[in-house]
Amino acid sequence: MFPILEQGLIMGIMALGVFISFRVLNMPDLTVDGTFALGGAVTVSAMTIGLPVYISLAAACFISCLAGMATALIHRKLRINVLLAGILVMTMIYSVNLRIMDGPNLPVPKDQVINQMTSFEEESGEDPLADLFAEAGIADVKSADIPAVERRSAGNIFNGAQDGKDLVIICAFCAALVVLLFIFLKTEMGIALRGFGSNPDAIQAFGITKTSMTVFGLGIANTLVGLGGGLFSLYGGFADVSMGQGMIVTGLAIVMVGELFLGKRKFLFGLIAPLIGGIAYQCILAVAMRYGHVIGFKSSDMKLLTALFIISVISLSLLSSGKKRGKFKSNLKSMLKAGGR
């Protein structure tokens, strides 16, 4: 049960970012696919060069934030559709990730060597000939005073022991993020950001530019996604260049599952919904993997299942909002129209 909760909550942190872009800003931001892997790549690479884990995670958040801001600037300044801007940045991030990791994947370092090993003597701190001298009866040979190589733990915050300690750490992250976001969204800036998502044209009448709101909003959204990616890499023990593939669909599915449980109205519930949704999504995933073979389901069908799941959730919410069949039809029509625009 621990892995499901742990992975679910980590995916929930990523989905919090998707919630900010999709629900708060009302913007479909595809940068998420790139920044999830970017978060992982930066975290693991920073740890590999010896940075402490929390600094590495902070670096991942910062770089992911810049990626989100880049999407916003491309969208606003070059007047490119936000979907295309997201795809462009996501594509760029793929190459950036390969450069950061110097390859397609990178394991989280187990430990770090503080002073560089040069020989067996330095590694062991013993004289290699001491045994020989002892056998020859020359006991008073003084071994050289060679310092042993110092090693320290790389400081991965997760031990992978499934003893609940990892879950406590992840819960602490989730609680801190929800509290911080809740406070932020109640500030003048947070309210303006929500107002921008609700009515982007009207916000200009109050002296706030659309560009500043887009840059700030997508920056925050991708910071959360990057943090999710970093934690995911630490939890899994590696970063991979393709680990963000389809993450936007997964994030959206998680947000929708959460909203099925908690509803859409109050935004505090909106902040908790992705976390609940993340756990529910992992449960569905686990059941599908374990018992899916009965109906011929393979693990490679997961993306198909996720996309179909989103379609079913949208259909269900349309059905529940318009109980009569006619209303469902008109809802579906207006939705398709909105999609066409």
Partner 1 sequence: MIKLENIRYSYNSGESNEKTVLKDVNLDVEKGDFITIVGSNGAGKSTLLKLITGEIYPENGNYMLEGKKVNNSGMHKLSRKIGRVFQNPNGGVFNDLCIRENLIISSKKGMRSFRFGKYNDFGLELLGELNLGLENRLDIMAGELSGGQKQGLAMVMAVSSSPSLLLLDEHTASLDPVSAARVMELTKKINEKYGITIMMITHNTEFAANYGNRLLKITDGTLFELKDRKKMFVS
Chain residues binding partner 1 by CB under 8 A are 184, 186-189, 191-192, 194-195, 197-199, 201-209, 212, 265
Enter the tokens of residue 15.
């989905």
Least separation in angstroms between CB 49 and partner 1: 33
Query: Can you tell me whether residue 50 is helix, strand or coil?
Result: coil
Q: 52 to each of 16, 59, 93, 276, 316, how far by Cα in Å? A: 25, 11, 24, 30, 46
Alpha-carbon distance of 56 to 64, in angstroms, equals 12
| CA 26, chain centre distance (Å) | 20
CB of 266 to partner 1, least distance (A): 10
Cβ 204 to partner 1, closest distance in Å?
5
Can you tell me the distance from the alpha carbon of 158 to that of 261, in angstroms, rounded to the nearest whole number? 29
Nearer to partner 1, 243 or 271 (CB): 271
The answer to whether the beta carbons of residues 185 and 191 sit under 8 Å apart is yes
Smaller CB separation from partner 1, 25 or 288: 25
Comparing CB distances to partner 1, the nearer of 98 and 268 is 268
Amino acid at 104: P
- Please, which residue, 171 or 192, has the CB nearer to partner 1? 192
Distance (Å, whole) CA 190 – CA 183: 8
Question: By the 8 A CB rule, do 257 and 15 touch?
Answer: no
Nearer of residues 152 and 186 to partner 1, judged by Cβ: 186
Phi, psi angles (nearest 5°) of residue 307 = -65, -40
In whole angstroms, the minimum distance from the beta carbon of 265 to partner 1 comes to 8
In the bound state with partner 1, the residue whose beta carbon lies nearer, of 40 and 258, is: 258
Q: How far is the CB of 337 from partner 1 (least distance, A)?
A: 17
CB 94 within 8 A of CB 87: no
CB of 6 to partner 1, least distance (A): 32
